[in-house]
């Protein structure tokens, strides 16, 4: 195993950023938390069924084995990892709950972007200030910083961004992190498809960057619901306090470990080459006005009539995401890169479509 050292140059004072009730929280202590080793063969401490059936025992609340595996996979220390059993959506909600005082604090996000940020903000009664992307879906660094005030705890940056597909330059995200006193959350759900580099190595030495990753997309495990937050161990300690004690089942922990051993089956390379083929094919379809560059496993495509093309596709058995009502996305459909056969079917339909006749 690689030993990873964690090094924050100046110790950040997180107490300024964490909600007061979370700072004061006495976290729930599970039956197994208080037990520190020894030779136990009779477990009568957790009111479980004593009859072995594979799942009669509570899972490891700290997911130690899984975190060690994730640690070597992402070259990050185990103490810097939070694992969520409801995907990275769980980490998004926890981040609001840890940092933002409802009705008082606010957060800044880019728009258009992933819809869960605004839903999680609303659930937590936190004002979300949405800043439109710049020309060519660029990161509006100055406008993002200008939207913050002394009650802004979080800035959300999705990179590669959903639904626009582009990853932002690292230097620009770092410029935001270096100019902002709160936490910058970088959602890298699609990071595995990008050649732009991850923000993970930037966590050490900075302290105010949180990176979200997930096994749902490139790793092909959306059904297992496993997402991660990486941050300074002092920050991750708050996630561990606030999370549900047993937030990932033992079967899921086991199955993720098994599937990590098998890898992604080489599909990331295949999806990246299909992304190119799909983009080139779509650009030839007469109903397509623009195919935006993508660092993800989907393409944002501007068409002549998004609602009509969408209906044509769904009525022929292909569903895509109609994003045409989002800011800056008029006329846009978001199309996931499928298998070669699925992409062929989509391309054929897109080329067959004729405006309004339908
Ligand atoms: C799909 C997606 C996620 C959700 O990941 P889960 O781990 O499945 O919850 C997070 N962020 C973005 C931007 C996504 O598109």
Ligand 1 centre distance from Cα of residue 168 (Å): 17
Check pLDDT > 90 for residue 341: yes
Confidence of residue 37 (pLDDT cuts 50, 70, 90): confident
Check pLDDT > 50 for residue 4: no
**33 backbone dihedrals φ, ψ, rounded to 5°:** -65, -35
Q: How many residues does the chain have?
A: 358
pTM, two decimals, is 0.95
Which of 111, 156, 216 to mutate for ligand 1's pocket (most ligand atoms within 8 Å of CB)?
A: 216
d(CA 283, CA 273): 16
Q: Which of 21-35, 99-113, 161-175, 266-280 has the lowest mean pLDDT?
A: 21-35
Q: Which of 2-6, 158-162, 188-192, 224-228 has the lowest mean pLDDT?
A: 2-6
Tell me the DSSP string of 90-125. Answer: HHHHHHHHHH--TTT-EEEEEES--THHHHHHHHTT
Give the pLDDT score at 355.
79
**In contact, 193 and 327? CB cutoff 8 Å:** no
Which residues does 356 contact at the CB level (< 8 Å), separation at least 6? 305, 308
Give the pLDDT score at 3.
41
Which alpha helices (H) appear in the chain, and where do they start and end? 20-23, 64-74, 88-99, 116-123, 141-146, 170-179, 200-203, 233-242, 250-262, 267-284, 306-315, 340-352
Average pLDDT over residues 265-285: 96
Query: Quick one: which of 136, 141, 140, 119 has its CA closest to 128?
Result: 119
Check pLDDT > 50 for residue 161: yes
Any ligand 1 atom below 6 A from CB of 207: no
Burial 80-117 (b: 16+ CB within 10 A, else e): bbbbbbbbbbbbbbbbbbbbbbeeebbbbbbbbbbebb
Helix, strand, coil percentages for the chain (3-state, nearest 5): 35, 15, 45
Give the pLDDT score at 205.
84
Ligand 1 centre distance from Cα of residue 209 (Å): 18
Ligand 1 centre distance from Cα of residue 71 (Å): 20
Give the pLDDT score at 295.
98
Q: Quick one: which atom of ligand 1 is closest to the CA of 222?
A: 8
The H or E element containing residue 224 is: none
Cross-sheet strand order for the sheet of 332-336: 288-291, 298-303, 332-336, 321-322
Which residues does 177 contact at the CB level (< 8 Å), separation at least 6? 184, 202, 206, 208, 209
Check pLDDT > 90 for residue 38: no
Give the pLDDT score at 9.
47
Q: How many other C-beta atoms are found inside a 10 Å radius of the C-beta of residue 38?
A: 5
Which of 159, 214, 227, 256 to mutate for ligand 1's pocket (most ligand atoms within 8 Å of CB)?
A: 214
Do the bridges between strand 127-132 and strand 106-111 make them parallel or antiparallel, or are there none, so unpaired? Answer: parallel
Confidence of residue 357 (pLDDT cuts 50, 70, 90): low
d(CA 51, CA 250): 16
């Amino acid at each position: 195993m690689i030993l990873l050292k964690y090094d924050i140059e100046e110790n950040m004072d997180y107490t300024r950023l964490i909600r007061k009730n979370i700072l004061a929280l006495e976290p729930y202590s599970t039956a197994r938390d208080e037990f520190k080793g020894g030779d136990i063969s009779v477990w009568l401490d957790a009111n479980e069924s004593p009859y072995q059936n594979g799942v009669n025992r509570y899972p490891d609340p700290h997911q130690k084995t899984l975190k060690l595996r994730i640690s070597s996979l992402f070259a990050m220390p185990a103490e810097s990892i939070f694992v969520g059993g409801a995907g990275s959506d769980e980490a998004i909600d926890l981040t609001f709950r840890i940092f933002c005082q409802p009705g008082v604090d606010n957060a800044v996000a880019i728009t258009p972007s992933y819809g869960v940020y605004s839903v999680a903000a609303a659930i937590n009664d936190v004002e979300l200030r949405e800043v439109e992307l710049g020309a060519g879906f660029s990161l509006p660094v100055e406008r993002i910083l200008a939207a913050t005030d002394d009650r802004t705890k979080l800035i959300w940056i999705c990179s590669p961004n959903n639904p626009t597909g582009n990853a932002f330059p690292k230097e620009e995200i770092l410029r935001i992190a270096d100019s902002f006193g709160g936490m910058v959350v970088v959602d890298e759900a699609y990071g595995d498809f990008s050649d732009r580099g991850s923000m993970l190595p930037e966590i050490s030495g900075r302290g105010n960057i949180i990176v979200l990753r997930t096994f749902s997309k490139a790793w092909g495990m959306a059904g297992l619901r496993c997402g991660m937050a990486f941050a300074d161990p002092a920050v991750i300690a708050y996630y561990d306090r606030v999370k549900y004690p047993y937030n990932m089942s033992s079967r899921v922990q086991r199955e993720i470990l098994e599937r990590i051993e098998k890898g992604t089956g080489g599909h990331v390379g295949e999806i990246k080459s299909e992304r190119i083929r799909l983009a080139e094919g779509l650009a030839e379809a007469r109903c397509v006005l623009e195919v935006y560059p993508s660092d993800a496993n989907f393409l944002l495509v501007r068409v002549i009539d998004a609602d009509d093309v969408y209906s044509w596709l769904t009525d022929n058995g292909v569903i895509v995401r109609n994003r045409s009502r989002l800011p800056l996305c008029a006329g846009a459909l978001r199309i996931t890169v499928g298998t070669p056969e699925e992409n062929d079917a989509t391309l054929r339909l897109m080329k067959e479509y004729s405006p309004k006749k339908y």
